[in-house]
């Protein structure tokens, strides 16, 4: 273990950074964190409202299969970069070392997009959690009419709770994430068996589960199905969490790539099984789609025929979402810390500071929480803000994945040094081409409004959020970045 740590710290020093964070995550606890971030079966089931109206069962199942295969290709491609350069900077660092000619501008753009994606993902998990709780309230009180401000307060509660745990319980987070992994897998098995047993023998047909198509979006059927990919994309993205936490795990260049690819594979498998189970036990799909309780709780009600039983089952994915909010906030703060360490954000020295007593980047954690709360005010003002925030997180993360992969391809896949994780040349090219094609398609699609006709309230404000990010980053580039940001500090001969 000691040799591992010395080797990891030497590799980090060769990339120009002092080891400031403790390597107290084991492979199992890091896998727990990565799987808690993806939170696939829970995120997929909690976000059923996205795809049930935009393709129905065919979008739910086959959309996940499509997204899962494509994201597995992306993870395999990025794992090569992680093995060569195991630094918390992740994508913006990989772009810089792959194509030094275009540093710092490519590195700057990638870093800003990645930071935005992670903050939006914290907001996404807090929103999903608040939706489930509002669903429980509507089941217990049928006459209750929910207001967005009520959900907003629950959203704030989840955000502040995640902040407190991250700030003051950092030393026990590895144990928490091991527990999160066990809870998630155990919950997946328990809920699946319970709903199948309760619904027996009244199951939906296989034809319904694998071929039923619903389109309530107003878009043509083909575009509606593609828009439903957003749900699948949400459930298997954010695997770069491993990269941003890589400075806290021993054997980084070997274990990191394994964890990155494994969490996507496990997430796709468990997510697909769970969604198939839900569709087999679901009742009338119109009721499910339009239920004030939310699609997931309504399916539990249909299966168990019991309010208390359905709510108890919902507690399992709800706790998973709480774990996810905590773990995504952990990762987001580390990404902000890494980018600030290289001077990428305003007041970078402040956000790159590691709190001496707590042993974590507290200021970066505060910034994450503050911006997530600001996202909540967008939700207060628009009924389609949920889709916009989800879209923003998926699109931003995917774009940050595309940057290093595209740069590597433009140089004939020869930009990386020798590394412990390396794809065979032909396999690497196939994985890269699938990755870039998928990201290009979904980036365009996920900026579309979720339904037609487009109004001010159902407009997809994802593009507006991106415009704000671009404006702020461009402004900051001219004010400070072009003078002080030179990309990550790199000295491979150190």
- Please provide residue 360's backbone torsions phi and psi, each rounded to the nearest 5 degrees: -150, 160
Tokens representing 256 are 């990191």
Close Cβ partners of 251 (under 8 Å, ≥ 6 residues apart): 4, 8, 27
pLDDT higher than threshold 80 for residue 78? yes
Q: What is the pLDDT of residues 172-218, one digit of tens each?
A: 888 888 888 889 999 999 999 999 999 988 899 999 999 989 888 88
Handedness of CA 468, 474, 478, 482 (dihedral sign): positive
Nearest partner of 221 among 55, 62, 447, judged by Cα: 55
The residue that leads in pLDDT, 210 or 30, is: 210
> Confidence class of residue 23 from pLDDT cuts 50, 70 and 90?
low
> Domains of the chain, with CATH numbers?
25-416+423-478 (1.20.1740.10)
Chain Cα centroid distance, residue 80: 20
What is the residue whose two structure tokens read 């006709």? 453
pLDDT higher than threshold 60 for residue 5? no
The residue that leads in pLDDT, 28 or 121, is: 121
Q: How far is CA 85 from CA 243, 247, 378, 419, in A?
A: 9, 11, 37, 9
Q: CA–CA separation, 83 vs 243, rounded Å? A: 10
pTM for the model stands at: 0.87
What secondary structure letter does DSSP report for 404?
H
Q: Report helix, strand or coil for 355.
A: strand
Tokens representing 421 are 């994780």
Q: CA–CA separation, 176 vs 327, rounded Å? A: 10
**Confidence at residue 402, expressed as pLDDT on a 0 to 100 scale:** 94
Q: CA–CA separation, 215 vs 223, rounded Å? A: 10
Q: What is the CA radius of gyration of the chain?
A: 22
Q: CA–CA separation, 489 vs 494, rounded Å? A: 11
Share of the chain above pLDDT 70, in %: 92
> Confidence class of residue 13 from pLDDT cuts 50, 70 and 90?
low
* H-run or E-run covering 11: helix 2-14
Q: What is the pLDDT of residues 236-278, one digit of tens each?
A: 988 998 888 888 788 888 888 999 999 999 999 999 999 999 9
Q: What is the pLDDT of residues 320-377, one digit of tens each?
A: 999 999 999 998 998 999 899 888 888 889 999 998 888 889 999 999 999 999 888 8
């Amino acid at each position: 273990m000691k040799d591992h740590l010395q080797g990891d710290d030497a590799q980090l020093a060769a990339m120009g950074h002092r080891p400031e964070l403790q390597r107290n995550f084991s492979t199992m606890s890091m896998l727990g964190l990565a799987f808690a971030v993806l939170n696939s079966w829970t995120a997929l089931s909690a976000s059923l409202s996205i795809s049930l109206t935009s393709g129905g069962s065919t979008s739910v199942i086959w959309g996940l299969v499509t997204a899962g295969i494509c994201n597995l290709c992306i993870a395999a491609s990025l794992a090569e970069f992680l093995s060569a350069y195991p630094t918390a900077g992740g994508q913006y660092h990989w772009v810089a070392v792959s194509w030094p000619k275009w540093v710092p501008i490519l590195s700057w753009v990638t870093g800003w997009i990645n930071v935005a994606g992670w903050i939006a993902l914290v907001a996404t998990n807090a929103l999903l959690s608040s939706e489930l709780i509002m669903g429980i309230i509507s089941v217990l009180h049928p006459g209750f009419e929910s207001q967005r401000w009520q959900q907003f307060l629950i959203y704030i509660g989840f955000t502040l709770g995640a902040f407190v745990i991250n700030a003051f319980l950092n030393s026990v987070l590895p144990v928490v994430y091991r527990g999160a992994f066990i809870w998630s897998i155990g919950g997946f098995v328990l809920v699946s068996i319970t709903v199948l047993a309760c619904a027996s023998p009244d199951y939906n047909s296989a034809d319904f589960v694998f071929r039923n198509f619903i389109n309530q979006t107003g878009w043509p059927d083909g575009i509606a199905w593609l828009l439903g990919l957003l749900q699948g994309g949400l459930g298997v993205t954010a695997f770069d969490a491993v990269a941003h936490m890589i400075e806290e795990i021993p054997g980084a260049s070997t274990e990191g790539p394994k964890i990155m690819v494994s969490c996507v594979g496990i997430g796709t498998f468990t997510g697909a099984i769970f969604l198939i189970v839900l569709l087999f036990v679901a009742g009338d799909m119109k009721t499910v789609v339009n239920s004030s309780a939310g699609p997931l709780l309504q399916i539990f009600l249909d299966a168990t025929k019991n309010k208390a039983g359905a709510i108890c089952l919902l507690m399992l994915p709800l706790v998973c979402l709480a774990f996810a909010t905590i773990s995504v906030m952990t990762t987001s703060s580390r990404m902000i810390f890494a980018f600030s360490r290289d001077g990428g954000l305003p007041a970078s020295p402040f956000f790159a500071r590691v709190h001496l007593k707590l042993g974590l980047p507290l200021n970066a954690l505060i910034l994450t929480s503050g911006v997530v709360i600001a996202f909540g005010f967008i939700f207060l003002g628009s009924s389609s803000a949920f889709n916009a925030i989800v879209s923003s997180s998926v699109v931003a993360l995917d774009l940050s994945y595309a940057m290093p992969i595209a740069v590597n391809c433009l140089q004939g896949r020869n930009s990386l040094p020798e590394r412990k994780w390396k794809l065979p040349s032909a396999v690497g090219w196939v994985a890269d081409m699938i990755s870039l094609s998928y990201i290009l398609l979904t980036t365009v699609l996920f900026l579309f409004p979720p339904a037609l006709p487009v109004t001010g309230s159902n407009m997809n404000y994802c593009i507006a959020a991106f415009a704000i990010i671009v404006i702020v980053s461009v402004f900051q580039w001219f004010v400070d970045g072009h003078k002080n940001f030179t990309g990550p500090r790199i000295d491979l001969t150190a």
